Amino acid sequence: MSEIDLDLLVQGDHRQWENFVRQVSPVVFSVIKKTLVAAGRDEEEAHDILQEMFAKLCASNFLLLRKYNPKKAKLTTWLAVIARNMAVDYLRRCRSQYCRMDEISAKGAQNEDTSLDADRIMLSFDLLPARQMMVMKLIYEKDMDVKEVARFMGITEQSVRSMRHKAVVKLRHMFEQK
């Protein structure tokens, strides 16, 4: 695989774009697919989100790609976060459409039950920032340790611990308010 030259890519170089798509598609598609499948959605929907992501990267003369800072994260990590955010946004759009229909059918049957159920917990997890969410999923769903998560995300172990701590604090705060 040849190295991606982002300067040429954002200038519209066709070969760089093909190289870029060929190299990052597997990583990006994997993140999108895992996010959708974990939420019980069809893997085929991941292809649409992948295309939407590449269109977003090209939009406004590659504005989003121009914002990439290699000093802050590896390109694949940065793209994985964008991909996951787009998949989560897609799931939220789907869920909100489903929830609105659910509310219409349940109108009038107001239940004051404040117990926490799995749907409310998942909704709360969706409110976490993407990187915190990724850390929580890798640790608690994939049973990875801090060192493995750090290596996977290309960040320090201390960053992983910090993100996990912030996520737990935020979740506790959200559940205390309910």
Q: Are 31 and 84 in contact (CB under 8 A)?
A: yes
Q: What domains does the chain contain, in order, with CATH numbers?
A: 1-110 (1.10.1740.10), 113-178 (1.10.10.10)
Query: Which is more confidently placed, 23 or 154?
Result: 23
Query: Which is more confidently placed, 40 or 68?
Result: 68
Please check the confidence at residue 45 and state whether its pLDDT lies above 90: no
Please check the confidence at residue 2 and state whether its pLDDT lies above 80: no
**What's the confidence (pLDDT) of residue 96?**
54
Q: How far apart are CA 160 and CA 84, in angstroms?
A: 17
**What's the confidence (pLDDT) of residue 177?**
63
**What's the confidence (pLDDT) of residue 139?**
86
Query: pLDDT tens digits, residue range 157-169?
Result: 888 898 888 888 8
Query: pLDDT tens digits, residue range 112-143?
Result: 443 444 444 444 445 677 788 888 888 888 88
Pull the structure tokens for residue 8: 């040429």
Reported as half-sphere exposure (CB side, CA atoms, 13 A), residue 22 has a value of: 10
**What's the confidence (pLDDT) of residue 109?**
40
> In which band, very low, low, confident or very high, does the pLDDT at 154 lie, cut at 50, 70 and 90?
confident
**What's the confidence (pLDDT) of residue 133?**
83
Query: pLDDT tens digits, residue range 54-89?
Result: 989 988 889 999 999 999 999 999 999 999 999 988
**What's the confidence (pLDDT) of residue 120?**
43
* 129-27-35-32 Cα dihedral, nearest 10 degrees: 100
Percent of the chain with pLDDT over 70: 78
Query: Which is more confidently placed, 2 or 109?
Result: 2
Q: In sequence order, what are the residues at sequence separation of 6 or more whose Cβ sits closer than 8 angstroms to the Cβ of residue 61?
A: 10
**What's the confidence (pLDDT) of residue 178?**
52
Q: How far apart are CA 154 and CA 148, in angstroms?
A: 10
Q: How far apart are CA 86 and CA 49, in angstroms?
A: 7
